[in-house]
Copies of this chain bind each other. A is one copy, B any other.
Amino acid sequence: MSDDLGAVGELAALARILPRLGGAAALLGPGDDAALLAAPDGRVLLSTDVMVEGPDFRRAWSTPEDLGRKAVATNLADVAAMGGAPTGLLVALTAPADTPVTLLEGIADGMAAACSVLAPGIGVVGGDLTRSPVLTIAVTVAGDLQGRAPVTRAGARPGDVLGYAGDLGLAGAALRLLFAAGEQDPAAVAALRRDRPGLLAAQLAPTPPIAAGPAAALAGATAMLDVSDGLLRDGARIARASGVDLDLDASAVEREADVVAAAAGCSAEEALAAVLGGGEDHGLLATFSGALPTGFRRLGRVLEGTGEVRLGGAVASDAGWDSFAG
C-alpha cells in the first residue's frame, strides 16, 4: 500500500510526524488554532525563512534529516543574531501528494535533532501541511531577548572590533564540490559525504553558534547579523546600516581561507572566494567596543566610512547571493 501523502491523508500523516518533533516547551502546542509560547521579556523576536526544492536544496544531495536540520538551524541563527534565545518554531510545509510520508518523518527527525543540539528545550509548536507541486519548508522562529536590547545592524562605531563566531566559507566550498559532483551521480555525492563529512555538513546541515548570540549581546555587541549571503555582502549590510566601513584584516582572512582550503582540498583562490562570498554558513558577524567574547575570533575593525567593506584597507567588491538575480 502506498505510503505517499495523497494515500495516507493529511491527518494520518500529521499523527505520524508530530510525535517525532518531541514535547516542546510550549504553553500550548499543536492541535489548536494557534500555539502559545512564553514571552517572559514582554517582547518577542520573530523571523521566517523558506527553503524551496530546486533553488534552495536538492534531494540528490540532502537527506530528509539534513533538510530538517538546515531549515531549523538557519532560523535559529536569525534570532541569535539579534542577541536573543530561541523559544519555539512553526513549520509550514508544502509537498506534492506523491511525497512519501517517510520523507516528512525524516525532516521532522532532523528538526528535532537540530533543536536538541542547538537550542535544547525548544521545538516545533505548530504549523501547516499543504499540498503543492513543490516541496517547500517555511520555518518561523520566535525568540526572547531576556531583558536585553536587541542587537541590530545599525550600532557599529569606528574603533569597534569586528568578530566572527562559527564556520566561514565551508558551506560555500562544500556547495562548489556538490555542484562538481552533480545531481546524477549518487556515488560521487556518497564519496564526498564519506571523505569530507564535516565540510558537507557545513552546507547541508549547518550548526551555527546559537548560544554565541546571547553571549555577544551580554558582552556588549554593538551590531550583529548572521552571514547567509556572504561575508562581503552581509558585512556591507552592517556597514551601511551603521554608516561606517568594515576593514577586514588581510591576515585574518588568509587564516580563514587556509582552513577552507584544507577542509575542501581546493586552491587558495577558491578558498578566498568562499570566505568572502560563499554564504550559507550562518555564523555570527558582530562588532564590539570592548574585548571579543568567548567563541568569537577577530576578523578586522570598524572605521569611519560610508558603508563599504574593505580588505586590508582597500574597498572589496560586493559578492553574494540574490535569490532572483543572475
Contacts and interface: CB of A to CB of B under 8 A. Distances in A.
Interface of A: 5-6, 8-11, 13, 27-28, 31-52, 54-56, 77-79, 81-82, 84, 88, 90-92, 94, 97, 125-134, 136, 138, 140-143, 145, 150, 152-153, 224-226, 241, 322-325
Contact of A130 (B13, B142, B241, B323): B323
B152 A32 contact: yes
B142 A50 contact: no
A80 to B, nearest CB: 8
A126 B48 contact: yes
Given A9-B322, A33-B47, A128-B138, 15 more contacts: A6-B325, A28-B152, A32-B150, A33-B78, A33-B82, A35-B47, A39-B39, A39-B41, A48-B126, A48-B138, A50-B138, A56-B130, A92-B92, A94-B136, A97-B324
A81 to B, nearest CB: 4
A91 B46 CA distance: 11
Contacts of A224: 33
Contact of A324 (B13, B44, B48, B90): B13
Given A39-B42, A44-B36, A97-B324, A50 B92 contact: yes
Can you list the 6 inter-chain pairs with the closest CB atoms, starting with the nearest? Answer: A39-B39, A34-B47, A33-B81, A52-B132, A140-B140, A34-B45
A19 to B, nearest CB: 18
A131 B55 contact: yes
A125 to B, nearest CB: 7
A13 to B, nearest CB: 7
A306 to B, nearest CB: 18
A280 to B, nearest CB: 14
